[in-house]
């Protein structure tokens, strides 16, 4: 849930194994990992942009001011909570509802902790 709106739903395994909404991806990347080996292979997503006021939410997608996938459409249209079209016929954890116009896109643009520290691409 982000600013009072559900952004992604599914079984626990679907959400943890294949989060499709950018907010869920960022949120899960911030969860501490006790296993040192697993921690080394995980990238923490660092959000930038404006944090909207809950009393004055932005038009369209409420997460768009902090989202690396945001485009013009995100300001105009509230995304429906639905299974992304690219995943509808796919078996597995990706086929669950997400409120993002670009949930299926694996586009670059998110900032990770290693990029900010100068240790990664970007």
CA 78 to CA 20: how far, in whole Å?
16
What is the domain partition of the chain in residue ranges? Answer: 1-122
pLDDT mean across residues, the chain: 86
Q: In this structure, are residues 49 and 66 in contact, taking their beta carbons and an 8 Å threshold?
A: yes
Cα-Cα-Cα-Cα torsion 47, 51, 54, 60, nearest 10 degrees, comes to: -80
pLDDT in tens, 40-84: 888 889 999 999 999 999 999 999 999 999 999 999 999 999 998
Report the 10 Å Cβ neighbour count for 122: 11
DSSP-derived 3-state class of residue 23: helix
28, burial (CB in 10 Å: exposed 0-12, middle 13-18, buried 19+): middle
Token output for 17: 């194994």
CA 94 to CA 20: how far, in whole Å?
7
Predicted TM-score (pTM) of this structure: 0.82
């Amino acid at each position: 849930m982000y600013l009072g709106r559900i952004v992604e739903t599914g079984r626990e395994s679907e959400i943890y194994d294949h989060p499709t909404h950018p907010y869920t991806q960022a949120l899960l990347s911030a969860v501490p990992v006790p296993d040192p080996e697993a921690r080394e292979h995980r990238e923490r997503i660092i959000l930038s942009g404006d944090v909207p006021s809950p009393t004055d939410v932005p038009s369209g997608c409420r997460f768009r001011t902090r989202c690396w996938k945001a485009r013009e459409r995100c300001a105009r249209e509230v995304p429906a909570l639905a299974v992304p079209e690219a995943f509808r016929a796919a078996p597995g954890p990706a086929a669950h509802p997400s409120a993002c116009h670009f949930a299926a896109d694996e586009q670059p643009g998110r900032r990770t902790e290693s990029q900010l520290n100068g240790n990664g691409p970007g």
